[in-house]
Structure 1
Amino acid sequence: MRTKKIAVINDLSGFGKCSLTAAISAIAAMGVQPCPLPTAILTAQTGYPSYYLDDYTDKMEHYRVEWQKMGQKFDGIYTGFVASEAQIQQIFRFIETFDTPDTFLLVDPVMGDNGRKYSLFTPALLQQMKKLATRADIITPNLTELCLLTDTDFQEISSINNVKEMITRIQELAERFLARGPKHIIVTGIHFTDETGTKQMGNLYVTDSGSELCAFPYIGGSYSGTGDLFASCLAAGIARGDAIPDIIRMTGDFLELALKDSVEEGVPSNDGVNYEKYLSHLMNTPK
């Protein structure tokens, strides 16, 4: 069988183990070819106190034109961090050029986390991201981003103490957005305490036919790039034909190992997780 290819539209950060740095290694480890299209080049991801950002908005069009000349085709298109609403317009042009009935579109609507918006967030960016997310087949928002997409107060959801009630409310928000276009929504990084008093982190998979919560013990810390790694594994797994619930569980196990390693080593959150030594866990099709 030919190697599957995914166009990965995201930034490239020198430090932070996120975006294209995370995507290229994880997708390649899963036997799929990542074809990077940088939205920006950064000295370090935007969580650091200081960084330099080289905006690639104008250069994105060159990728589209040259790849079209080459006659390239993609099994998937996966979008992550964008620096402006203008870049989303470029992404729409790319999709119009390369989308086919056999191409899936996965959108990771990177806009914030833990109830806070990232520094480059604007209301105009949110409006364009909503349009892009409704065009997608799969989206992977964290709870903050799902609230932004659905015009919901994050504190209203995060302050719900009853776990079942909170998960039900998140499912309702996801179902509301499903009605606007996507076929699959995976809400990532949901923190809660289970009935035994154990802190958990879960990913809620929602489709028209129902939902499934995949959770594992909360290791501690909030690290750069874990959302990028999750979305990258999901994109590669879909490309190679894995079932989405299986990919979610496999990726959860992979990230749990990386998080535990990082917490034990005392890695600063901006630096990202120690995932490299665990890439072999992604190489086999999940069972």
Structure 2
Amino acid sequence: MSDILYHRNPEYIPRVAAVHDMCGYGKCSLTAAIPILSAAGCDVCPVPTALFSAHTRYPVFTFHDTTPILNDYLDAWQKEGVELDGVYSGFLGAAEQVEIIKRLYREYPNVLRLVDPVMGDGGKMYPTYTAEMCQAMGTLADGADILLPNLTEASILTGLPYEGQNIDDNKVDAILEALLEMGAKNVVLKGIDHEDGRIRNFVASADQGVEHKTQLVHEKLPFMVHGTGDAFASALIGAVMAGRDLAESARVAGEFVRHAMISTQHQPDHERRGVSFELNLGELTDLVE
């Protein structure tokens, strides 16, 4: 069993800053983080890193970088005495926004640092990302209480080659070891697929070492939808903030996403629109009842 990272007071609602983009259409980033973390009993404070009309899987989308407004935004939080228990970062609009996250770390030194290094998938960077942005994102690994990369992002962070989703345990260990050596305290590596009808995620900690990693296995559904990574990360963090240990939180998140995908297949345009988790939010609310 992995360590419990947050000890929940049942009478207190923890406050988490969600540093993500906002998409007007398409289920991802803040449109996933806000409802999912709220269902898990968290007070979500958005820090919008960019505004999109739709996510980048659509052929037409508008993009607005919010970097110029963010320091004033956080200045106002300081003046109002906003308190935080966690900082959950994801998709960034510019390399400079890494400094915004580090500012939050300086001003809230006791928060949990929850880093989903959203940069790409399927061996490719997302279209708004640059090598400079990826390099800056990598600096957030050092000191992260939880680092949540998929295999593409792990390759970008570590410099190890992306070899597809079907990798053996030795390769998993090498990736986990490299990520922990970057300074992450705990790593959740997502999306290993041995093409046997199952998806595997792995949890490892710096304290216990890669040899004591935990493997979580989930049924693989015969279709894909956009936004499952954001839903998984948000549900995992919600479970952590509900007082579950990290391995159990990863299990909860994996099953939440699987159940949400089952709900999603009945929705129009579901492959592009994204994962429809609304009917399954009760699974997360049950964590704090």
The one-letter code sitting in structure 2 at the alignment partner of 1:220 is: P
Which residue, 185, 188, 196 being the options, matches 1:186? 188
- Post-superposition Cα deviations, 1:143-163, rounded to whole Å, max 9, x if no partner, equal 1101111101112x5464xxx
How far apart in 1 are the matches of 2:43 and 2:12? 10
Unaligned segments of structure 2, at least 5 residues: 1-10
Could you say which residue in structure 2 is the equivalent of 1:39?
Answer: 49
TM-fit CA distance, 1:231: 1.1
Residue 131 in 1 paired to residue 139 in 2?
yes
Residue 64 in 1 paired to residue 62 in 2?
no
Is the Cα–Cα contact under 8 Å of residues 171 and 206 in structure 1 kept in the other structure?
A: no
Could you say which residue in structure 2 is the equivalent of 1:245?
Answer: 247
Bigger mean CA deviation after superposition, 265-274 or 11-20: 265-274
How far apart in 2 are the matches of 1:222 and 1:135? 32
Which residue, 177, 180, 201 being the options, matches 2:179? 177
The one-letter code sitting in structure 2 at the alignment partner of 1:222 is: M
Is the Cα–Cα contact under 8 Å of residues 15 and 85 in structure 2 kept in the other structure?
A: yes
- Post-superposition Cα deviations, 1:240-263, rounded to whole Å, max 9, x if no partner, equal 211111111111111111112323
Could you say which residue in structure 1 is the equivalent of 2:27?
Answer: 17
Unaligned segments of structure 1, at least 5 residues: 161-165
Is the Cα–Cα contact under 8 Å of residues 165 and 191 in structure 2 kept in the other structure?
A: no
How far apart in 1 are the matches of 2:129 and 2:22? 18
Could you say which residue in structure 1 is the equivalent of 2:197?
Answer: 199
How far apart in 1 are the matches of 2:182 and 2:43? 30
SS in 1 for 2:13: coil
TM-fit CA distance, 1:185: 0.4
Which residue, 116, 125, 139 being the options, matches 2:124? 116
Distance 1:159 1:30, change over 3 A: closer
Is the Cα–Cα contact under 8 Å of residues 12 and 41 in structure 1 kept in the other structure?
A: yes
How far apart in 2 are the matches of 1:124 and 1:236? 30
The one-letter code sitting in structure 2 at the alignment partner of 1:182 is: A
Bigger mean CA deviation after superposition, 141-150 or 55-64: 55-64
SS in 2 for 1:51: coil
How far apart in 2 are the matches of 1:246 and 1:159? 24
How far apart in 2 are the matches of 1:233 and 1:6? 13
Is the Cα–Cα contact under 8 Å of residues 236 and 252 in structure 2 kept in the other structure?
A: no
How far apart in 2 are the matches of 1:133 and 1:183? 9
